[in-house]
Amino acid sequence: MSANTCLQQLFRILELEALRGRVALKMNSRASRLLIAVSTLVLAVSAGRLTPVQACSCVTACKSESDCIKESFKYAAAVFVGTPVEVDVQPREFKLGNRTVRSVNYHIRFAVKESFKGMAASYAVSDNGSGGGDCSYGKMDKGRDYLIYAESISGVAVEIHACSRTQPLDAGVGTRPSADSDWSDDMKKSMLAGQKALRKELVLLRKLRKRTSAAMR
């Protein structure tokens, strides 16, 4: 395969991926925050063959953890605690040349337990993608509480990015390792530190919600 033909196929694949929303680049101009989410296809040329490889890279830069939370809150379309009540695994496939690539989409319906910003409804839905190299969040567990930072919102439909601060809450709030667990001391300390950080994040989000509400009056 010639280099010219290789480049033509590369551009065509990237064009198709862009149309599917699988190539994403988001950057804030503020020096205190940098979020780059890149999902693309890298073509490795070996023995005349093209091998598609997905890659997702997330980079954040903040002066402190509280600054990261404030910036994420500011630029998120919606921030809320949600519990998946329905998880529908939807098979998907698309063509890459003469190849068929199979994947899945996790369609999630959430019960909204607490809203900090942008979510007025009692439920939300999200197409989470496969959670692979396309920078989608992917699988969520039914019945598990999540702190969700949505990149966009339309009605009750939200978009959740793998590079956001979205994370499960059950391991961080109201849970302590038992005395007879076989965890190492370092593992216990790490878990307790994570719990403390999540509690502080929720406290800060409630303060930010209050400030935002007061500013809108």
Distance of alpha carbon 173 from its chain centroid, rounded?
20
Residue 181 reports pLDDT greater than 50: yes
- For every residue of 177-208, DSSP letters joined together read --TT----HHHHHHHHHHHHHHHHHHHHHHHH
What domains appear along the chain, each with residue ranges and CATH number? 3-63 (no CATH), 68-216 (2.40.50.120)
Bridge partner residues of 126 (DSSP): 108, 158
Q: How many other CB atoms are there within 10 angstroms of residue 134's CB atom?
A: 22
Tell which residue, 170, 173, 179, 149, has the closest CA to residue 70: 149
148-152, 181-185, 212-216 — which one is most confidently predicted on average? 148-152
Q: What is the pLDDT of residues 199-216, one digit of tens each?
A: 999 999 999 999 999 888
Report the pLDDT averaged over residues 15-43: 40
pTM: 0.72
Report the range of poorest mean pLDDT among 83-87, 181-185, 213-217: 181-185
Q: Which residue has the tokens 């005349």?
A: 48
Q: What is the pLDDT, as a whole number, of residue 94? A: 80
Q: Spell out the residues 6+ positions from residue 76 whose beta carbon is closer than 8 angstroms to its own.
A: 117, 118, 149, 150, 151, 164
Question: What is the phi/psi pair of residue 209, to 5°?
Answer: -60, -45
Report the range of poorest mean pLDDT among 78-82, 102-106, 165-169, 189-193: 189-193
Q: What is the pLDDT, as a whole number, of residue 6? A: 47
Q: What is the pLDDT of residues 93-113, one digit of tens each?
A: 888 788 888 889 999 999 999
Residue 42 reports pLDDT greater than 80: no
The answer to whether 160 and 142 are in contact (CB under 8 A) is no
Residue 151 reports pLDDT greater than 60: yes
Q: Quick one: CA dihedral 31, 63, 208, 71, positive or negative? A: positive
Confidence of residue 123 (pLDDT cuts 50, 70, 90): very high
Residue 5 reports pLDDT greater than 90: no
Q: Average pLDDT of the chain? A: 77
Q: Which residue has the tokens 């039914």?
A: 142
Is the model more confident about 179 or about 184?
A: 184
Confidence of residue 22 (pLDDT cuts 50, 70, 90): very low
Report the pLDDT averaged over residues 62-74: 93
Is the model more confident about 124 or about 136?
A: 124
Query: What share of the chain has pLDDT > 90, as a percent?
Result: 46
